[in-house]
Amino acid sequence: MKYIPQLDKNFKPMVLEFRKYSEAVSKTDNKPLKICVERNDGYNYIFSYNIFACPCKAEENNRMAERIAKTILWLVGGYKIYVLGDEGVYNYLKDAYTNEGLRSFDKNFMERVYENKFEVVLCDEKTFPEEKKCSLSVGGHLDGCRIGFDAGGSDRKVSAVIDGEVVYSEEVVWFPKINPDPDYHYNEILTAMKTAASKMPRVDAIGVSSAGVYVNNKIMVASLFLKVSDDDFEKKVKNMYIDVAKEMGENIPLEVANDGDVTALAGAIDLNDNCVLGIAMGTSEAVGYINDKGGLNGWLSELAFVPVDYDKDSMVDEWSGDYGCGVKYFSQDSVIKLAEYGGFKFDENLSPAEKLKVIQGLMKEGSPLARQIYEDIGTYLGYTLPYYAMFYDIKHILLLGRVTSGEGGNIVMDRANKVLAEEFPEYSFRVEMPDEKNRRVGQSIAAASLAASRK
């Protein structure tokens, strides 16, 4: 490992740990292991690799299998894990995905999303599933008068777009994640929509980019509504975007998409190409992917919960209760974490978004600590992208989000590309960024293209 994050020297990149494990496995008796994660309509993802054959290596096999299974689960989504090749690994995963197990959060999250009981299933060659993929068309509609709304955790962004040209865009600070009143969320979203609508003669379509999981424009799970009670969520939140669209006008086409997928769509539009992995570093790590057909795979791509650091003592995500996950490496949380590792003391009364602005201000002043923070995030990214490439076919990496604003974003990009070029020459992709404006509002503009307009 040539590059080490100077403020987090215990960082153990998943890709290097997996390669080290695989090399050790190859030098002794080994056997194949297959893990399949299944989601709705039988769509699935299968990953195969070799593990130690000797039961004496069960601990190493189990730990790696748990990290790989969790990675696949949050990449593609699902409620059923099939295991072929080792009963010990099966038992370990089965115990992990229980209400009392290591991955109880993951289990309960996926049960809520897919409205199915979570299962871990032991298979033989005859019962192991065959691969089943899908590709969904997305976006690219630019005709007429459109509203694109991006519901970030720290600020909400909206764009008014006429025939593909942005006529108005704005960013407004809001506090959805700490507000338990669903009417607050509704009124903020409606205000943004009305502001954009006031800049156009009419509204032909509405597109929404928002963190979370959406089914038929309904909000199934979303961190923006963390403080809203379950009862209010069912009554007022689940159909919130549908209700707002109705208030904007009768029968206005609406399309709500995960913000990660809209990030990737923004990249595909900007680059005029496919196989784009889009990463928005903001309140969390939002990721999406446009496949070789220019569509979506139907995956969750919630890489905020995917492990990127194998170090058991790395920072724990408060929501999922797991260590080494992407949210603590590729979001404003990472900036704050590294600043504190470097000895910086924040005002305790500041919100995470305000703490990020403090570091961005120091960056403008030429602070060595601020520069080191962004270099370390770039190092994290350079060693993590090859891990993502184990699961995605990548031609382009596009960065957006408030963390990448200003000179800090350029430092992240440059360091990541340096790591890729020197440590992983087998990969041809490099990190790219849109211009400064699109880094911040590109998602809301891409969101405007999501829904087909009324004919």
What confidence tens digit (pLDDT) does each residue in 222-249 have? 889 989 999 999 999 999 999 999 999 9
CATH of the domain at 318: 3.30.420.40
Would you say 112 and 133 are in contact if contact means Cβ atoms under 8 Å apart? no
> Are 71 and 173 contained in the same domain?
no
Q: Is residue 1 part of a domain?
A: no
Rounded Cα distance, 69 and 256, in Å: 28
Q: Is residue 387 part of a domain?
A: yes
> What's the CA angle centered on 427, arms 421 and 431, to 5 degrees?
65
> Are 183 and 309 contained in the same domain?
yes
Rounded Cα distance, 30 and 98, in Å: 29
Would you say 23 and 64 are in contact if contact means Cβ atoms under 8 Å apart? no
Q: Is residue 283 part of a domain?
A: yes
Q: How many CB atoms lie within 10 A of CB 366?
A: 9
Q: How far is CA 394 from CA 46, 143, 178, 397, 430, in A?
A: 18, 29, 36, 7, 10
In the block, which residue shows the tokens 């999922």?
320
Rounded Cα distance, 228 and 15, in Å: 37
Which residues have a Cβ under 8 Å from the Cβ of 32 and sit 6 or more positions away?
48, 49, 50, 51, 85
> Are 224 and 316 contained in the same domain?
yes
For the record, the structure tokens of 391 come out as: 């699961």
Q: How many CB atoms lie within 10 A of CB 109?
A: 23
Residue 399 φ/ψ region, left for φ over 0, alpha for ψ in the -120 to 50 degree band, beta for the rest: beta
Domain limit, last residue, from 78, 96, 123: 123
Q: Mapping DSSP to helix (H, G, I), strand (E, B) and coil, where does residue 445 land?
A: helix
Give pLDDT, residue 137. 81
Give pLDDT, residue 439. 53
> Are 177 and 275 contained in the same domain?
yes
> Are 218 and 279 contained in the same domain?
yes
Domain limit, last residue, from 70, 95, 123: 123
- Domain enclosing residue 91, as ranges: 14-123
Would you say 427 and 389 are in contact if contact means Cβ atoms under 8 Å apart? yes
Tally of structural domains, the chain: 2
Alpha-carbon radius of gyration of the chain? 22
Question: How many residues are recorded in the chain?
Answer: 455
Rounded Cα distance, 307 and 324, in Å: 5
> Are 144 and 112 contained in the same domain?
no
Domain limit, last residue, from 123, 156, 178: 123
Give pLDDT, residue 437. 56
Which residues have a Cβ under 8 Å from the Cβ of 318 and sit 6 or more positions away?
none
Q: Is residue 8 part of a domain?
A: no
Q: Is residue 161 part of a domain?
A: yes
Rounded Cα distance, 71 and 47, in Å: 11
> Are 145 and 72 contained in the same domain?
no
Q: How far is CA 219 from CA 147, 222, 376, in A?
A: 19, 7, 35
Residue in 338, 418, 325 with CA at minimum distance from that of residue 378: 418
Give pLDDT, residue 142. 86
First-to-final CA distance of the chain: 56
> Are 97 and 246 contained in the same domain?
no
Q: Is residue 166 part of a domain?
A: yes
Q: Mapping DSSP to helix (H, G, I), strand (E, B) and coil, where does residue 85 land?
A: coil
For the chain, which ranges sit under pLDDT 50? none
> Are 113 and 188 contained in the same domain?
no
Q: Is residue 235 part of a domain?
A: yes
For the record, the structure tokens of 68 come out as: 């790989």
How does 158-169 read in b/e, with b if 16+ C-beta sit within 10 Å? bbbbbeeebebb
Q: Is residue 311 part of a domain?
A: yes
Rounded Cα distance, 357 and 341, in Å: 17
> Are 242 and 141 contained in the same domain?
yes
Torsion angles phi and psi, residue 436, rounded to 5: -55, -40
How does 299-314 read in b/e, with b if 16+ C-beta sit within 10 Å? bbbbbbbbbbbbeeeb
Let me know if 441 is exposed, middle or buried by CB neighbors in 10 A (0-12, 13-18, 19+).
buried
> Are 284 and 408 contained in the same domain?
yes
> Are 115 and 139 contained in the same domain?
no
